[in-house]
Amino acid sequence: MMKTSKITTLLLTGVITALLILSGCSLEINPAPESNSTPASTGGNLRVVFLDVGQGASQLIISPSGKTMLIDAGNNDKEELMLQYMDQYGITKLDTVIGTHPDADHIGGLDAVINHIPVGRIYMPKAQANTKTFESVLRAVKNAKLKVQTAKAGISWEMDDEVHVDMLAPRRSYEDSNNMSAVVKITYGRTSFLLTGDAEADSERDMVDAGTDLQADVMLVGHHGSKSSTTLAFLKRVHPKYAVIQVGADNTYGHPKSVILNRLKQQGVKVYRNDLQGTIEAESNGQKVTFRTER
């Protein structure tokens, strides 16, 4: 029995091989579907997605060749939503994850993401929090056999050809957790994005005083449009064409504040908001940035 079946297998293999050679087939008969290996095509563009996570923040960055970065992941109750977004954008691995600071509206959903998607490396500032949220992120990091690298000014890397990432803050230690926020600038060709976390006036002043190149076409408005951030001096140095406010409808903080909205208006900045437009996608071809909104 064994012998016969072995001979049959051999014969069959021979016949199939002969057929393949005759038909000029290569061995890649069943290539894996595209969506399983690369994120949703960006058409050679850099895509920065301001995910609608209600009151909270999360930005997904996909480079022209499909490198991926996630900055923050919304609050704890957005874990399922974050995994849905990862699925929707075809994210099967994250090269870099950044938790800007330990507040729940930024790192709440990070543990679920790290538990479900392979992560290359993770950055967080040197700031502790005695919260279950913070502990669960650290546990997820440990389970994924990752080690948190310190987010601070001066760290930079090439995310892709012509896509450069610079961490501009925190420049020092602050008592306030918001000021400890990792601030990230992404440059692609002639276009740039400044993602500010919840950095407040102190951190903004330190970046301005240090002579940091802050100019960016697109700015994430600091601290959800709170009046603690987006000082005029900082805004003038960034000199954005577009600003995005990550904020939930009817939030209890009254974000964004009208003083900040007026300041942006006076500087001629076009504003996009998650509470009004849902998820906001910005796309750069290296020359200019275009926007698409969910609603």
| Residue 72 Cβ vs Zn ion, minimum distance, rounded to whole Å | 8
Q: Which stretch binds Zn ion (CB under 5 A): 38-46, 79-87, 104-112, 121-129?
A: 104-112
What minimum distance in Å lies between the beta carbon of 103 and Zn ion? Answer: 5
- Give min distance, CB of 126 to Zn ion, in A: 18
Instruction: For the chain, give the secondary structure using H, E and C.
Output: CHHHHHHHHHHHHHHHHHHHHHHCCCCCCCCCCHHHHCCCCCCCCEEEEECCCCCCCCEEEECCCCCEEEECCCCHHHHHHHHHHHHHCCCCCEEEEECCCCCHHHHCCHHHHHHHCCEEEEEECCCCCCCHHHHHHHHHHHHCCCCEEECCCCCEEEEECCEEEEEEECCCCCCCCHHHCCEEEEEECCEEEEECCCCCHHHHHHHHHCCCCCCCCEEECHHHHCCCCCCHHHHHHHCCCEEEECCCCCCCCCCCCHHHHHHHHHCCCEEEEHHHHCCEEEEECCCCEEEEECC
Q: Which stretch binds Zn ion (CB under 5 A): 22-30, 194-202, 210-218, 282-290?
A: 194-202
Q: C-beta of 174: minimal distance to Zn ion in Å?
A: 15
Q: How near is the Cβ of 160 to Zn ion at its closest, in Å?
A: 28
Q: In the complex, what is the shortest distance from the CB of residue 255 to Zn ion, in angstroms, rounded to a whole number?
A: 9
Contact status: 105 vs Zn ion (CB under 5 A): yes
Interaction between residue 275 and Zn ion (CB under 5 A): no
Q: Is 200 in the site for Zn ion (CB under 5 A)?
A: no
Q: Is 198 in the site for Zn ion (CB under 5 A)?
A: yes
Determine the interface stretch with Zn ion among 103-111, 151-159, 237-245, 263-271 (rule: CB under 5 A).
103-111
Of 152 and 224, which has the nearer Cβ to Zn ion? 224
Nearer to Zn ion, 105 or 204 (CB): 105
Q: Which stretch binds Zn ion (CB under 5 A): 21-29, 122-130, 196-204, 230-238?
A: 196-204
Q: Which amino acid is at 214?
A: L
105 versus 166: smaller Cβ distance to Zn ion:
105
**Residues binding Zn ion: what is the number (CB under 5 A)?**
2
Give me the residues paired with residue 165 across strands.
157, 186
Task: Note the residues at the interface with Zn ion (CB under 5 A).
Answer: 105, 198
